[in-house]
Structure 1
């Protein structure tokens, strides 16, 4: 087919490499880190993304699904607002990011070359191809280099880029054994969620309103959620303090820039970074990779395929960004009266949905 360079070896980048390889492309993956791998904590993989991975030959993700007790939304005191079972919602596979990354890279074959410790500083293109750092050439470049994408800035220097959501997030893995089904607990300007991984450990995350750059650690999140219902105290106590991750939450400004310019394609957070409120960020990157491969496999030239990819993925991910942003605003409300109204609306909505399903 042709040659491609994938910039960035996160979940989206390695999925794109596997997808292109299956289409017959020769792929070079460029990763800035000194070695291939993924850091972080847990990740939710929704059925649509699982389906893409299965099409690409990635095995084992569906086996990571965990049966659990009831999950849903609670108040800090432990009272249920709505149970997930009442809503009939899809249940994602919960898996560690590093495990998912390994399952995908296990599909790397002779059509994929990896170069680690490589930083992209320059990109040029013309009608015949794309050149990286005046050194590497390819027919196509896939930019999967994250929310602060160097490639996106080179293509669209006028784009506003990332914007701060107003809250920070903490993530961790607790080595505790629980029967609780998990879910989310919403308070005033704070949320806490957790779910069980395939190995029995608990992946948790928490959010808190605060100015950008303020930071925080295990002690901070423990103090912020002191007095919340069980098993939250046990989860935090069972988490190694040095392993807690804290990141201010950003998403990309809308309207999003076109995902394609010439022979360069934006994918994942480089194209459509969103807040984590829907748990769809990595899944969207996986779906991007599947869509790109599908359009490249269709009859027609490269330009036609890339434009079809943009028409497919930009509207869909724009909707997700806006929905996720909206959920975050509702979830991070601090006013006591507004929080009470919010919880009441969710409770009523859950009852109505449950009645309709019955």
Structure 2
């Protein structure tokens, strides 16, 4: 493969990661970001063994481990009865896997600092709208129709609302999901919570409240948690009009222990409303454009795979460019490498999401009684752990990766706050 001149749309985790992978291979990369200053968007997320393995290849695993909170378990209970609904433990699988709860700012800061240290160029304030072929180059145009750059390859990492993706020949149909969530990043000092588990409360499938230990945004800062509450996005304005007091009252009725977290919220501006959509590009390439991350595929966050899939995409594309004879062959190889993994997890997300976020009382009843019972039986425990880990099918070999030796990885668990409620303590007798 000759040296390529590559334009990367978007300075989120996917765009930053792919730039860090391609530059050492000799390619010239330039990141174009629509905001005047590249910055993180969102509250918290889970890094799974897949995403952590990609960060390891970039030499960024230890910095992330130092910032994040080790997650060993995903636990959910019915808010009224206390009945266990979800209990997924990473140790149901051999190999010592775990998740890492992080602030989105921590992932962004770690990748962005590495990009800056490598001297890779980021052009900000550039809103991209279209791309066209001219003279054998992929030419990017901004929202005013001005040329923003001509490249051998354009990588679209600009997210689920990408204009480049929507205007491409392989643009998928977008299915807007009815349910979204309010998110907030809050101080965890003195707040009872399980420091090594994502803990959730449900009222049928219409309400989901969660607390995710999310560590620090930067070294030296306090640990924080990501707090979220699901709702229909169409109802968000009505909820805001009713006032914070009423909203807090509803949450406290479901989960009184959330009081110290809710006490930190005194303005709706502290809560970000996340909207979700389901879309999958087949294939994730069009001409001289490769799509990665949410620009290529997006869905609800129910399985916690979004950022991890984006990082695997970046690794797979870099591997294809590294091993194929020419650019056209590399793009075909990239699409082939990601096909089965993406399609499987998009399908799983479609299947699982209605059990946790929908108006269906029947699905919630089945989840709480039938599914929760079956999930406790082997081999379902290991199967669920492999789904959460993102490894139900192997994503590593096709991306040129080796999974980390988790037994050799050391990450300090966050100490339990005084009087913390662990997931075990919350289970009914």
The TM-score, its normalising length taken from structure 1, stands at 0.89
Conservation of the 8 A alpha-carbon contact between 2:47 and 2:101: yes
Q: 1:160 to 1:215 in 2, by over 3 A?
A: farther
- Cα deviation, 1:301-343, whole Å, max 9, x if unaligned, reads 1111111001111332122222112221111244545423320
Q: Following TM superposition, by how much is the alpha carbon of 1:235 offset from its aligned partner in structure 2, in angstroms?
A: 2.6
Q: 2:342 aligns with which of 305, 308, 317?
A: 317
Q: 1:127 to 1:316 in 2, by over 3 A?
A: farther
Q: Does 1:64 align with 2:67?
A: yes
Conservation of the 8 A alpha-carbon contact between 2:8 and 2:15: yes
Conservation of the 8 A alpha-carbon contact between 1:64 and 1:93: no
Conservation of the 8 A alpha-carbon contact between 1:268 and 1:285: yes
SS in 2 for 1:278: coil
Matched with 1:280 is 305
Matched with 1:31 is 33
Distance 1:213 1:42 in 2: 20
Matched with 1:227 is 253
Q: Does 1:84 align with 2:78?
A: no
- Cα deviation, 1:162-221, whole Å, max 9, x if unaligned, reads 221111211111223334344222222111121112243211222123537757558275
Distance 1:71 1:323 in 2: 17
Matches within 5 A, 1:237-252: 237-241=263-267, 242-252=269-279
Q: Following TM superposition, by how much is the alpha carbon of 1:65 offset from its aligned partner in structure 2, in angstroms?
A: 4.3
Conservation of the 8 A alpha-carbon contact between 1:76 and 1:187: yes
Distance 1:356 1:15 in 2: 32
SS in 2 for 1:155: coil
Q: 1:336 to 1:5 in 2, by over 3 A?
A: closer
SS in 1 for 2:254: coil
Q: 1:130 aligns with which of 123, 135, 138?
A: 138
Q: 1:336 to 1:143 in 2, by over 3 A?
A: closer
Unaligned runs of 5+ in 1: none
Q: Does 1:115 align with 2:123?
A: yes
Distance 2:31 2:180 in 1: 31
Matched with 1:206 is 229
Conservation of the 8 A alpha-carbon contact between 2:284 and 2:292: yes
Q: 1:301 aligns with which of 317, 322, 326?
A: 326
Q: 1:39 to 1:332 in 2, by over 3 A?
A: closer
SS in 2 for 1:225: helix
Distance 1:3 1:198 in 2: 37
Stretch deviating more after TM superposition (175-184 or 280-289) = 175-184
SS in 2 for 1:29: strand
The TM-score, its normalising length taken from structure 2, stands at 0.75
Matched with 1:150 is 163
SS in 1 for 2:302: helix
Unaligned runs of 5+ in 2: 142-146, 217-222, 383-429
Distance 1:286 1:16 in 2: 8
Distance 1:232 1:209 in 2: 21
SS in 1 for 2:76: strand
Matched with 2:400 is none
Conservation of the 8 A alpha-carbon contact between 2:71 and 2:99: no
Q: 1:215 to 1:308 in 2, by over 3 A?
A: farther
Matched with 2:212 is 195
The alignment yields a C-alpha RMSD, in angstroms, of 2.7
Conservation of the 8 A alpha-carbon contact between 1:185 and 1:191: yes
SS in 1 for 2:375: helix
Matches within 5 A, 1:163-202: 163-176=175-188, 177-180=191-194, 181-188=197-204, 189-199=206-216, 200-202=223-225
Q: 1:341 to 1:262 in 2, by over 3 A?
A: closer
- Cα deviation, 1:61-117, whole Å, max 9, x if unaligned, reads 133343579651111133333433497265321111111111112222556211000
Q: 1:25 to 1:47 in 2, by over 3 A?
A: same
SS in 1 for 2:376: helix
Q: 1:273 to 1:68 in 2, by over 3 A?
A: closer
Stretch deviating more after TM superposition (336-345 or 147-156) = 336-345
